Amino acid sequence: MADQRKKSPSYRWAAFAHWLNLAVLAGGAAAGAIIDPAIWLALVPLEGAMLWIIPDLPPFRASIDKRHRARALQAERAYCLEQLWRVQPRPDKSAGEKMRGWFVSDEPDDYDERIVDRGETEVQHYLEMRAIVHKLREMVPLADVRVTEQDLFRLDEVINGYLRILIACRPLAAAVYNSDVQALQGEHSDVLSRLEGADSTLRPVLLERKRLLEKQLQRIPRLQATLELLHARAEAIVYQLRNVHSQVLTDPGTAVQGMLDEMEERHELMGDPLEDLRADQSVKELLDRELEAGSAPVPAEPPPAARRAAAARREGSRR
C-alpha cells in the first residue's frame, strides 16, 4: 500500500492510453488496411510527436495529476475501510467490461455500500461525513455558492484523515489495554524492597530493572493521554464538518478554505498520528508488538502528494 502511494503518474503512458490517441491509432490502422499501407508509416512519426509533446503540456499534466490524486485518495480510503470495518469483495468484471473500461469511465466504485461492520458509532460518523460532502457537491453548480471542486477534494482528504486517526487508535488502545499497571507497580515495589538488602553484585541488576519498570510506568499515562487526544480529534472532525455544512446552508457565500486549513493544521490530518510516539523506541516496540500480534491494523500514511499539497496550502496561508 505504501509503495502504491509513492508512485508518480506516467504522463507518457497516460497520453498513449488516452481515448483520443487510441481512436487515432485505431482509425489509422483501419485506413492503412483499407486504403494504403503507407498510412501506417505516416502514423509512426505522428504518434511519436504526440507522445513527445503532449505529456509535457501543463494542462495535460495538471489533468493527470488531479486524476492520480483522486485515485490515490480512493485507494487509501479503500485500505482504511477494509482495515477498520471490512469491505465485501467487488464482483469480478468480465473481459468485455474490462475492455469497455479502457474507453468509457464507469461510475466510481462505492466502497461505502460494501462496508460489512456497520454497528460501530465511528461507521455512522464516517457515513454522515460522506453524506455531507455529497450534499455540498450538489450545491457546487449554484451561482451563489463558493464551494469549489478543490474544496470537496480537501473535504475528502479530511475524511481520510479521520480514518487514519481511527486506525492509529487501534494499536494504541490495545497497548493501553494490555498494560497491567498493577502488576508493574507490584513488581516495582518488590524491586525496591530487594534493593534495601542487595549486595554489590545484585544491586546493579536491580537498579536496571527498577529503571525499566519506572520507564514502563511513565509510558502508560502518555499512551492513555495520546489515545484520549486522538479520540477527541476524531469527534471534533465530525463536529466541524457538520459546522461547515450548516454554515454553507446558512450563508451559501461562505468560503470554506480557511475552515479547511484550520482543521488540517489543528488536527494534523496530513501526518502520522503516531509519529511522535514512535520516536520513543520503547513505545515503538510496544506498538509494533501489538501490530504483529494482529490486534490492530497497520496505520496508513497519507499519500506524499497529499502531504505536499497540504504543506503548500499552509505556507500560502501564512503569506
Place of cell 501564512: 318
Per the model's pLDDT, the better-predicted residue between 108 and 128 turns out to be: 128
DSSP string for residues in 4-15? HHHPPP-HHHHH
Give pLDDT, residue 318. Answer: 47
Longest dimension (CA), the chain: 103
C-alpha cell at 262: 484550520
41-74 per-position pLDDT tens digit: 777 777 777 777 777 777 777 777 778 788 888 8
Using 50, 70 and 90 to split pLDDT, how confident is the model at 305?
very low
169-192 per-position pLDDT tens digit: 888 888 787 777 777 778 878 778
246-263: average pLDDT: 82
The pTM of the full predicted model, rounded to 2 decimals, is 0.70
Give pLDDT, residue 1. Answer: 40
Q: Is the dihedral of CA 125, 126, 128, 129 positive or negative?
A: positive
Most confident of 39-48, 218-227, 234-243, 300-309: 234-243
Give pLDDT, residue 3. Answer: 41
